[in-house]
Amino acid sequence: MQFDVKVKDAVKSFGNLKAVNKLSFDSVPGVNIILGPNGAGKSTLLRCIDGLYRLDNGSLKVMGVDPYTDNGIRTRMSYLSDNYALYDYLDVKSNLKFFGRLYKMNDRNTIERSREILKKLNALEYFDKKVYELSRGTKQKIALCRALLNKPDILLLDEPTAFLDANSSESIRKLLQEFSEEKKTIIWVTQKLDEVTRFNCRVAVINKGNIIKDSTTSGLYSTILRNSFVNIRLASPIKHEIAKRIPGFYSSNSREPNAIKIKIRKYSDINKALDYLIDKKAFVVSVDYIEPLIETLSWRNNGV
């Protein structure tokens, strides 16, 4: 069975603001990233899918049922936002037991399942701690554990790594990658292009409440990589004359630079620059793609 979400001509307004505006979207198995700037309607869409908001117009079905009226569907679907939403004065175990009970799990199963997930997230040691004693990253790991308690077929994620450090983000991504490999459905909304690159998956771009581009990670990158920048760091400085001749050279950090910024139009421009530097006996330490802010991208100008 396919764990699908089908949205057709969905409209959700708050006063005069149309947060979701005639949006249509069908999920695919695996990771579905919905990318868009602040206020694009990402979170509203996710809340509609989870049945927290009722649509003003259009239709929305999760595995064939309306999630707003059919509470039972949430036994097979989970939702995690950037806000960990745990009860601070309760310990981790009590929090998870409470949510387990709402999924009609007995406490023993909840504890076993929680331990299994928290172990994978390197957070098992916090099982008996009060939530308010934990760091933001740990709280978010506990929240992810809560979202996975019921072994959902569909997982809805609203910027789950937004406020996390690199290690916490990575452990969460790793677990979600495992989850998606079971052919279950993840709908992940984010405004960070960096997040998109971590998965080889379907990417839908949302703006002003509507999907304006439906692509894949690689498809999106070939679009975004036009007219963007890459930083190249070298083990030792090179002469300015050599630096200036790097294909796409844009700027450098000094007369004899060890950090150079190049402008690229497509993937192969990076290779050309590296080939040139290697040819000039320079030692490349790192190549860092400078992620453009989602708000700064003009999708139309990029041929979208």
> Could you list the residues that contact other proteins (CB under 8 A)?
47, 50-54, 71-75, 78-79, 81, 83, 85-90, 94, 98-99, 101-104, 143, 146
Which is nearer to other proteins, 36 or 51 (by Cβ)? 51
Q: How far is the CB of 5 from other proteins (least distance, A)?
A: 15
Residues in the chain: 304
Distance between CA atoms of 47 and 42, rounded to whole angstroms? 9
Q: How far is the CB of 150 from other proteins (least distance, A)?
A: 8
Which is nearer to other proteins, 139 or 261 (by Cβ)? 139
Single out the residue of 136, 143, 101, 99 nearest to residue 118, CA to CA. Answer: 143
Is residue 241 within 8 A of residue 280, CB to CB? The reply is no
Give the bridge partners for 289, in sequence order.
Answer: 230
Q: How far is the CB of 80 from other proteins (least distance, A)?
A: 8
Which is nearer to other proteins, 85 or 293 (by Cβ)? 85
Structure tokens at 226: 């036009």
Which is nearer to other proteins, 190 or 207 (by Cβ)? 190
Distance between CA atoms of 151 and 156, rounded to whole angstroms? 13
Q: How far is the CB of 166 from other proteins (least distance, A)?
A: 25
User: For the stretch 104-126, what's the b/e string if a residue is b when 16 or more beta carbons lie within 10 angstroms of its beta carbon?
Assistant: ebeeeebbebbeebbebbebeeb
Q: How far is the CB of 26 from other proteins (least distance, A)?
A: 22
Q: How far is the CB of 38 from other proteins (least distance, A)?
A: 18
Which is nearer to other proteins, 39 or 247 (by Cβ)? 39
In Å, how far are 1, 99, 159, 246 from 271, measured between CA atoms?
43, 51, 32, 11
Which is nearer to other proteins, 56 or 291 (by Cβ)? 56
Which is nearer to other proteins, 83 or 215 (by Cβ)? 83
* Residue at token pair 């450090």: 165
Which is nearer to other proteins, 73 or 270 (by Cβ)? 73
Q: How far is the CB of 128 from other proteins (least distance, A)?
A: 14
Q: How far is the CB of 57 from other proteins (least distance, A)?
A: 16
Give the bridge partners for 261, in sequence order.
Answer: 231, 251
